[in-house]
Amino acid sequence: MAPRSAGKNAESSDKVGVICRALRRAIIEQALEPGAKLPEDSLGERFGVSRTIARHALGQLAAEGLVELRRNRIAVVATPSWQEARDAFDIRIELERLVVRQLAGKLTKPQIATLNAHVDAEDAARDGTDAVSIRLATEFHILLAHMTNSPILVRYVSEVAYRCCLTLSLYSRPHSSECAINEHRAIIAALVKGDEAKVMALMHSHLDSVASRALVAPAPQRGRDLLDILAPYADEGGSERVVKLPKVVRVR
C-alpha cells in the first residue's frame, strides 16, 4: 500500500504529449479510423506546432502501435491484421489478470468509490454514442491498472487496451455495452471480496467475451484487407524486396 512513484511519464508536459493524447483519444473514439492519413503538416497546423513536433508525436504513437510509419510515406492510423488483434487480446488477458491479482482484496475505500463512480458513468453514457461507451469501457481497465501503482503495468495495459480498441473499430461494427458494464461491476465486487481466483477468472472471461464478440471470424477478406494479405510477402527481410504488381489495388 506504500505509495510508489506515480511519476509522470516522459511525454506528459510538452506539446508532443498534447498531440499524442489528442490523437490517441481520437483513435479510440473512432473519429480517426484505421488507415486514416496523418500528414505531419496538417497535424502541426491543427495543433499550432511545427512539423518537428508533430513528427515526434507520430513517432511515439508508432512506438505504441497506434500509428504506422513507413519511410517517406504519410503516417496512417494502424490497421492491425486479424491475427495481430487476436495476439493483442491474448496479451491483454494476461496483463489484466496480473492487475486484478495484485488488486484483489487490496482496494482502499476511495479506490472502490472511484471504480463505482466510473461504472456509473459508463451506465449513464449508455444512451450516448458508441464512441464514448467504448472509451469509458477502456478507461475502466486503465483505471484498474493505475491502482496497482505500477507505472510499467499501467503503460502496457494502456497500450494494449488502445490497440484492442483499434481492432474493435476495424473488425466489429456493433458494440453492445450493457453486458460489459455488468461484468465490470462483477469484477469490482470480486476485487472487494478479495477472491483472487474468482476475479482472475472473471477478468479472463470478460476480456475473452469482448474479444470473441469482436473477432468472430478470421475474416480473411474484409474491407481493404488485400494489402494486409500482400504485406507479409512484401516486407520480409531487411532489403526492401518489393512485390511488383499492376496498380490494381487502391486504398480510398
Residues interacting with its own copies, by CB under 8 A?
A: 3-14, 16, 52, 55-56, 59-60, 62-65, 67-69, 71, 81, 83-84, 87-88, 90-91, 94-95, 97-98, 150-153, 155-156, 160, 163, 228, 231-232, 235-236, 238
In Å, how far are 7, 43, 50, 57, 156 from 14, measured between CA atoms? Answer: 15, 15, 13, 10, 21
Nearest Cα neighbor of 150 from 1, 6, 12, 2 is: 6
- The CB-of-80 to DNA minimum distance in angstroms stands at 20
Q: Return the residues of window 54-73 that contact DNA according to CB under 7 A.
A: 55, 69, 71-73
Residue from 28, 75, 119, 215 in contact with DNA (CB under 7 A): 75
> What distance in Å separates the CA atoms of residue 224 and residue 49, rounded to the nearest whole number?
33
Of 76 and 144, the one with the shorter C-beta distance to DNA is: 76
Whose cell is 461507451? That residue is 133
Which grid cell is 12? 506528459
Distance of CA 179 to the CA centre of its chain: 20
- The CB-of-7 to its own copies minimum distance in angstroms stands at 5
Of 39 and 59, the one with the shorter C-beta distance to its own copies is: 59
Burial of 207 (0-12, 13-18, 19+ CB in 10 A): buried
- The CB-of-110 to DNA minimum distance in angstroms stands at 33
Question: Residue 75: beta bridge partners?
Answer: 38
Of 53 and 203, the one with the shorter C-beta distance to DNA is: 53
Which grid cell is 20? 499524442
Which grid cell is 196? 483472487
Of 127 and 240, the one with the shorter C-beta distance to its own copies is: 240
Binding region for DNA (CB under 7 A): 14-16, 38-42, 44, 48-53, 55, 69, 71-75, 246
